[in-house]
Amino acid sequence: MNEDVKIIHRILRGEKDEYAVLMDRYHNELFSYVYNLVVQVETTEDLLQDIFLKIYKKLHKYDAKKASFRTWMYRIAHNEVINYLRSSQVKYQTGVIDKIEFIEDDEDIEHDVIKEEKMNLILKAINKRLKKKHKDIMFLHYFSGLTVKEISEVLDIPDKTIYHAIDSSIAKIKEAVQLYEKV
């Protein structure tokens, strides 16, 4: 039995404080994923609170035989972020980072700025050029730490389809980014 499952069993037996251990294990990874999509620190924190609370409330439904806790958790997190982006009409933020100091200090500021611009163009291309299912795949592919197999588990889509989608989406994104860069 892996460590996550042991912790979950302890929580379900009543050791609620153990949930803090579970959050501690995954906070940074989920923070990074959510932050890359919403690009606002406060919103990311609010969403993370909602996500962790939702996970806690659904914990008794988690089935270790069906999926790893990590991919099950990403499924909840991904749906929560997508719902937020859709309902708030903020769409996918481009070009706006509300607290630049939040980004890791690096001596090569120019490199960071270029990378930031590139990421914004990629987000814009994903948002403008891809269909919903492919957006989901590419958000997870680019901005989460998940492998294709794990993305397949999160979205419940076969690996093969994910590979096809990534291939065709990358071509579309590249084309769109080149176009945006020319403008």
Binding residues for other proteins, rule: CB under 8 A, are: 11-14, 16-17, 19-20, 23-24, 27-28, 31-32, 35-36, 41, 44-45, 48-49, 52-53, 56-57, 60, 101-106, 116, 119, 122, 131-133, 141-143, 145, 147-148, 156, 161, 164-165, 168
Closer residue to other proteins (CB): 68 or 79: 79
Instruction: Calculate the dihedral angle through the C-alpha atoms of 99, 112, 131, 176, rounding to the nearest 10 degrees.
Output: 130
Contacts (Cβ under 8 Å, ≥6 apart) of 39: 93, 96, 97, 98
Closer residue to other proteins (CB): 3 or 163: 163
Q: How far is the CB of 164 from other proteins (least distance, A)?
A: 6
Q: How far is the CB of 142 from other proteins (least distance, A)?
A: 5
Scored b (16 or more CB within 10 A) or e, 85-114 reads beeeeeebbbeebeeeeeeeeeeeeeeeee
